[in-house]
């Protein structure tokens, strides 16, 4: 005889089960305190590798300061509201006659963060002067995933008219014929105002300039003064050597009374950035990824020595967090802001975020090694995507010109809802003045190395990155790691 | 013909929307991807046939020092452990809840199904937090026990194992629900007969329950194998900057080629290698696991 099935829950039990399940769902869906993952949000405040080909005294091209994502548990910025605006004319007014929408993609932009506010303000001013033009901003994070998103949008030709990007990404885009040259739109005043070697960074195919230089972004060392005070360690000299840096890092690596570990140093290591490279490239002038004769330059003893010296921060001196080498950018920045890391190497874009968070910090140059001064960086650019419509292209060029001018600095001053004003790094024009604390980066500009302009820079960094990580993790010697990738690296460098 | 449509017309009309969706969004893209795997393809300028025609496949296996081989190895290891553990865990959990009352069984089925309805993004982020070497929950427990910290997702030697463990410890919701349903359909007479013959609980479970749910096991093995071979979001979220190359999988390589380098031809070639691997595994599984069990 078959057993009779009991019928489903009675009403009361049913309701109770639904309530319990709903509670469990809510608990399960609580987001962790770590940064949102890369793909769609969390603008990372790192700057892309810096550009600027010529090692002249003019500011080197560096990566545009990355918009940093707000680290976990930072103090909410309390910025005053933006200034009241009115149309001002001049270069703000586009003579194109365009009516419609321009799509602007901005590196590191997330609505409301310190990196977004400058552009929101600038775009608001532009739209006031051009009531028929609407500008929509899309953000993309300054890491490998963000550049993937950008490339895909450019390749599809949809929804992107102009973009803020770091200079080392430009060659690949120019090769794929995705970017408009700007020569026809450069006036004599522009040529006189923009630093010549910075403009040269954008000269690629046929010697044409392919982007408007915006700013020059070097890396610097950020020191958390509160951590130094807590550790009772004096701030080092700004002419510090690498050895002094290591000793300092050791002194500010300590355990608090509550058991919380504080680390002396961290930096973001990712295929999309070269933040930490200056700390080992200063080993010797031969330590450069591409030699003068277009060969892979890291396959030499000096690179091995420098890279190993850097890895020893984690392996020997133990001044870095346990996840160093694979930390998320938000964890690096969050650790610094939350006084768990005393020193971080980062680009200029971190400074406004720290100012907004009222962090007590100071910016130092990268420590010298055997007298060698070096920082890495790139040029932040604003490029115009290939646009078939001549009128729209002119409008995009007008917006790009405005966004890279001294007028935009006047329109978005510090003290509004932007901690350091529009420019988050030293400007590419002589007429652009640098506001504190970014003026602390001016001294390092003459020593800035800019990532080379090769079309396959992104695959090259992706080739170098896992080996660099393995060196930091202590799994492989630097010499062996770089030797292993030399044939493939040479292939990538020789691609045109 | 007229009679055919009179007899079957409405049937075909009803399946037309799903068939159209399948053809447009599955069949055509798969065929197109196969074609692209023999081309150098650009979104703006279309495709050019490679010379030799297999060049993309060659590049797929040789680029970046043969990273694709590493990715295949990692994927096989990940799949083996997650499939085995998920099947075993699903079987154990559903066996444990089966003797409970109907209400409790329903409650536990719903509770164990929660991971299936939770976003993979949330699960990945949560595990990132758990595994954080500095302030993660896992190392917090180790600290309490006086044990040394572990670099769960920053040590190349154990990063893949950590990711695999996170997949295993995320309850296999589908397995629990399907096994539970399958066990519920086993006639109770078999268990009564076994009891009369003096079988204990374990013997009944092993000789009656497990064989009679073999078809469910086959289905789950195939399902989980396909899902594990396609692992991507967990790795992408937990170790976005990678850990050396120790967490590279087939799909991360496809993603890198297809979307980072916009090398669609090589990405498509790798995707077809994945397709062949999954199809081979599925055929083997059907061959060796499929059998009818009757009592």
DSSP code string of A225-251? HHHHHHTT-PPPPTT-BHHHHHHHHHH
pLDDT for A489 = 94
- pLDDT at site B19: 94
Q: How confident is the model at residue A64 (pLDDT cuts 50, 70, 90)?
A: very low
- The pLDDT of residue A45 is 32
User: Could you say which residues from 264 to 293 on chain A have a Cβ atom under 8 Å away from some Cβ of chain B?
Assistant: 269-271
CB < 8 Å from B in window 428-487 of A: 458-459, 462-463, 465-467, 469-470, 473, 475, 484-485
Which residues is A179 bridged to in the sheet?
A385
Are the folds of A90-217+379-444 and A218-377+453-494 the same? yes
Residue B267 in contact with partner chain A when CB distance is under 8 A: no
DSSP A369: B
Given a cut of 70, whether residue A59 has pLDDT beyond it is no
Q: How confident is the model at residue A32 (pLDDT cuts 50, 70, 90)?
A: very low
Residue B129 lies in a domain: no
Give the CA-trace dihedral at B246, B251, B254, B258, to 10 degrees.
-120
Spatial CB neighbours of A33, under 8 Å, sequence gap ≥ 6: A72, A73, B129
A54 touches chain B (CB under 8 A): no
Identify the domain containing residue B278 by its residue range. Answer: 68-115+151-289
Q: Exposed e or buried b for every residue in B48-65, given b needs 16+ CB within 10 A? A: eebeeeebbbebbeebbb
Alpha helices in A295-347 (DSSP H): 301-315, 329-337
Picking from A242, A244, A243, A250, the residue whose alpha carbon sits closest to that of residue A278 is: A242
The answer to whether A473 contacts B128, with C-beta atoms less than 8 Å apart, is no
Domain coordinates in residue numbering, chain A: 90-217+379-444, 218-377+453-494
How many residue pairs from chains A and B have C-beta atoms closer than 8 A? 147
**Residue among A366, A369, A190 nearest A267 (CA):** A366
Please give the helix or strand (H or E) that residue B177 lies within, else none.
helix B173-184
Residue B232 lies in a domain: yes
* Count of CA atoms in the C-beta half-sphere (13 A) of A447: 19
Give yes or no for A71 touching B (CB within 8 A): no
Give the pLDDT score at B255. 92
Distance in angstroms (rounded) separating the CA atoms of residues B32 and B45: 16
Phi and psi torsions of A126, nearest 5°:
-60, -45
Nearest CA in chain B to A144: B260
Question: Token digits for A112?
Answer: 């409301």
Report how far Cα A222 is from the mean position of its chain's Cα atoms: 15
Nearest residue to A75 (alpha-carbon basis) of A360, A387, A372, A274: A360
Whether chain B has a CB inside 8 Å of the CB on A44: the answer is no
Task: Sort out which chain B residues have CB atoms less than 8 A from A14's CB and list them.
Answer: none
pLDDT average, residue stretch A170-195: 91
Judging contacts by C-beta atoms under 8 Å, the chain B residues touching residue A143 are: 240-241
Q: What is the pLDDT of residue A71?
A: 33
Picking from B118, B151, B156, the nearest residue to A322 by CB comes out as B151
Question: For residues A133 and A445, which has the higher predicted lDDT (pLDDT)?
Answer: A133
Distance from CA of A77 to the nearest CA of B (A): 25
Q: What share of chain B is helix, strand, coil (3-state, %, to 5)?
A: 75, 5, 25
Q: Chain A residues with CB inside 8 Å of B64's CB?
A: 462-463, 488
Q: Would residue B46 count as lying in a domain? A: no
Residue with token string 């040029």: A379
Which band of pLDDT confidence, cut at 50, 70 and 90, is reported for residue A75? Answer: very low
Mean pLDDT of A182-200: 91
Return the SS3 of A135: strand
B262 interaction partners in chain A (CB closer than 8 Å): 151-152, 155, 176
CATH of the domain at B248: 1.10.3720.10
Residue B294 included in any domain = no
Tokens matching residue A321: 């967090």
- pLDDT higher than threshold 70 for residue A202: yes
> Are residues A33 and A73 in contact, defined by beta-carbon separation less than 8 angstroms?
yes
Report the C-alpha dihedral over residues A403, A449, A463, A324, rounded to 10 degrees.
-90
| pLDDT for B120 | 87
As for how many domains chain B has, the answer is: 1
- Residue B87 counted as domain residue: yes
Average pLDDT of chain A to the nearest whole number: 83
Which tokens in the block code for residue A431?
A: 């007429």
Examine residue B136 and state whether it is found in any structural domain, yes or no.
Answer: no
- Provide the pairing of β-strand A254-255 with A375-384: unpaired
* CATH number of the domain located at residue range(s) A218-377+453-494 in this protein: 3.40.190.10
A239 touches chain B (CB under 8 A): no
Residues in A touching B118 (Cβ below 8 Å): 25, 28-29
Q: Are strands A162-166 and A100-107 parallel, antiparallel or unpaired?
A: parallel
Beta strands in A167-239 (DSSP E): 212-224
Does any domain span residue B130?
no
**Do residues A428 and A213 lie in contact, with contact meaning Cβ atoms separated by under 8 Å?**
yes
The confidence score (pLDDT) of residue A315 equals 96
Work out the minimum CA distance from A80 to partner chain B, whole angstroms: 34
* Domain with residues A90-217+379-444, CATH architecture: 3-Layer(aba) Sandwich (3.40)
Nearest to A322 among B42, B134, B239 (CB): B134
Q: Does B211 touch chain A (CB under 8 A)?
A: no
Mean pLDDT of A374-390: 92
Higher-confidence residue: A66 or B212? B212
Search chain B and give the residue with CA nearest A148.
B260
Main-chain phi, psi angles of A347, to 5 degrees = -90, 180
* Local structure of A344: helix, strand or coil: strand
pLDDT of residue A231: 96
Interchain contact, B244 vs A475, CB within 8 Å: yes
**Number of neighbouring beta carbons within 10 Å of residue B10:** 10
Max Cα–Cα distance, chain A, nearest Å: 99
Categorize the per-residue pLDDT at A56 as very low, low, confident or very high, splitting at 50, 70 and 90. Answer: very low
Q: Is the CB of residue A275 less than 8 Å from the CB of residue A438?
A: no
- pTM here is 0.80
> What's the mean pLDDT in A40-69?
33
Segment A415-429 mean pLDDT: 83
Region A348-372: what's the mean pLDDT?
92
Q: Each residue's pLDDT tens digit in chain B (295 positions)?
A: 788 878 888 898 999 999 999 999 999 999 999 999 999 988 777 888 888 989 999 999 998 888 999 999 999 999 999 999 999 999 999 999 888 888 988 898 888 888 888 888 899 999 999 999 988 999 999 989 999 999 999 999 999 999 999 999 988 888 999 998 898 888 888 888 888 988 888 888 888 888 889 889 999 999 999 999 999 999 999 988 889 889 999 999 999 898 888 889 999 999 999 999 999 998 888 887 766 655 5
Q: What is the pLDDT of residue A23?
A: 57
Q: Do A8 and B102 lie within an 8 Å CB cutoff?
A: yes
Q: Which of residues 84-103 of B touch A (CB under 8 A)?
A: 101-103
| pLDDT confidence tier of residue A191, bands split at 50, 70 and 90 | very high
Tens of pLDDT, residue by residue over A101-151, are: 999 999 989 888 777 889 999 999 999 999 999 999 999 988 878 888 898
Please answer whether residues A241 and A450 qualify as being in contact, where contact means their C-beta atoms are separated by less than 8 angstroms.
no
Nearest chain A residue (CA) to B235? A37
Cβ contact (<8 Å) for A28 and B114? Answer: yes
Q: Is B239 within 8 Å of A31 when comparing Cβ atoms? A: no
DSSP letter (8 states) at residue B156: T
Calculate mean pLDDT across residues A251-270.
94
Q: CB-hemisphere CA count at 13 Å for B214?
A: 15
Residue B24 lies in a domain: no
């Amino acid at each position: 005889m078959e057993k009779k099935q009991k019928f489903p829950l009675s009403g009361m039990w049913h309701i109770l089960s639904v309530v319990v399940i709903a509670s469990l769902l809510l608990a399960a869906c609580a987001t962790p305190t770590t940064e949102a993952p890369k793909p769609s949000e969390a603008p990372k405040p790192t700057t892309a590798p810096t550009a600027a080909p010529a090692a002249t005294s003019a500011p080197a091209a560096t990566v545009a300061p990355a918009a940093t994502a707000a680290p976990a548990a930072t103090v909410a910025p309390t910025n005053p509201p933006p200034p009241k605006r009115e149309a001002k004319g001049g270069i703000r007014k586009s003579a194109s006659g365009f009516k419609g929408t321009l799509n602007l993609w901005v590196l590191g932009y997330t609505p409301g963060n310190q990196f977004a506010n400058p552009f929101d303000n600038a775009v608001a001013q532009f739209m006031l002067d051009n009531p028929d033009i609407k500008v929509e901003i899309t953000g993309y994070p300054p890491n490998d995933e963000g550049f993937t998103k950008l490339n895909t949008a450019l390749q599809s030709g949809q929804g992107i008219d102009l973009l803020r990007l770091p200079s080392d990404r430009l060659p690949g885009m120019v090769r794929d014929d995705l970017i408009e040259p700007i020569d026809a739109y450069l006036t004599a005043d522009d040529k006189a105002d923009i630093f010549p070697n910075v403009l040269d960074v954008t000269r690629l195919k046929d010697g044409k300039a392919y982007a408007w230089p915006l700013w020059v972004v070097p890396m610097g060392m950020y020191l958390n003064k509160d951590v130094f005070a807590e550790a009772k360690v004096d701030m080092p000299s700004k002419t510090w050597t690498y050895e002094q840096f290591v000793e300092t890092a050791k002194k500010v690596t300590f355990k608090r009374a509550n058991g919380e570990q504080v680390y002396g140093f961290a930096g973001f290591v990712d295929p999309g950035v070269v933040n930490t490279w200056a700390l080992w490239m200063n080993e010797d002038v031969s330590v450069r990824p591409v030699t003068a004769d277009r060969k892979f330059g890291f396959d030499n003893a000096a690179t091995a020595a420098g890279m190993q010296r850097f890895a020893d921060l984690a392996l020997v001196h133990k001044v870095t967090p346990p996840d160093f080498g694979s930390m998320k950018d938000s964890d690096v920045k969050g650790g610094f802001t939350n006084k768990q890391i005393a020193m971080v190497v980062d680009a200029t874009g971190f400074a406004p975020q720290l100012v907004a968070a009222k962090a007590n910090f100071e910016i130092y140059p990268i420590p010298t090694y055997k007298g060698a001064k070096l920082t890495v960086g790139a040029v932040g650019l604003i490029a115009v995507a290939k646009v078939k419509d001549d009128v729209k292209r002119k409008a995009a060029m007008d917006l790009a010109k405005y966004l890279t001018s001294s007028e935009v600095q006047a329109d978005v001053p510090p003290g509004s809802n932007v901690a350091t004003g529009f420019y988050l790094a030293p400007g590419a024009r002589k007429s652009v003045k640098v506001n504190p604390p970014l003026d602390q980066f001016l001294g390092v500009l003459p020593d800035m190395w800019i990532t080379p302009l090769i079309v396959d820079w992104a695959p090259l960094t992706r080739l170098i990155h896992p080996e660099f990580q393995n060196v930091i993790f202590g799994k492989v010697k630097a010499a062996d790691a770089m030797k292993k990738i030399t044939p493939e690296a040479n292939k990538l460098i020789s691609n045109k | 013909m007229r009679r055919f449509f009179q007899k079957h017309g409405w049937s075909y009309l009803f399946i037309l929307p799903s068939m159209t969706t399948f053809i447009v969004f599955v069949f055509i893209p798969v065929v197109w991807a196969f074609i692209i795997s023999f081309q150098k393809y650009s979104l703006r300028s279309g495709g050019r046939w490679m010379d030799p025609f297999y060049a993309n496949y060659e590049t797929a296996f040789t680029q970046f020092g043969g990273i694709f081989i590493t990715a295949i190895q990692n994927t096989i290891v990940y799949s083996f452990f997650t499939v085995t553990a998920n099947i075993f865990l699903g079987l154990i959990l559903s066996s444990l809840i089966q003797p409970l009352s109907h209400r409790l069984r329903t409650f536990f089925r719903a509770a164990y199904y929660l991971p299936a309805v939770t976003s993979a993004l949330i699960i990945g982020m949560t595990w990132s937090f758990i595994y954080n070497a500095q302030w993660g929950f896992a190392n917090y427990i180790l600290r309490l026990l006086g044990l040394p910290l572990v670099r769960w997702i920053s040590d190349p030697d154990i990063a893949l194992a950590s990711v695999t463990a996170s997949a295993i410890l995320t309850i296999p919701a589908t397995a629990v629900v399907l096994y539970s349903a399958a066990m519920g359909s086993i006639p109770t007479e078999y268990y009564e007969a076994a009891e009369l013959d003096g079988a204990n609980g374990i013997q009944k479970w092993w000789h009656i329950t497990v064989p009679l749910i073999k078809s469910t096991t086959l289905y789950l093995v195939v399902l989980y194998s396909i899902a594990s071979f396609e692992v991507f979001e967990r790795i992408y979220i937990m170790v976005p900057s990678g850990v050396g190359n120790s967490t590279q999988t087939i799909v991360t390589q496809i993603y890198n080629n297809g979307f980072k380098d916009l090398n669609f031809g090589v990405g498509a070639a790798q995707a077809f290698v994945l397709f062949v691997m999954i199809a081979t595994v599925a055929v083997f599984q059907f061959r060796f696991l499929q059998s009818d069990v009757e009592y």
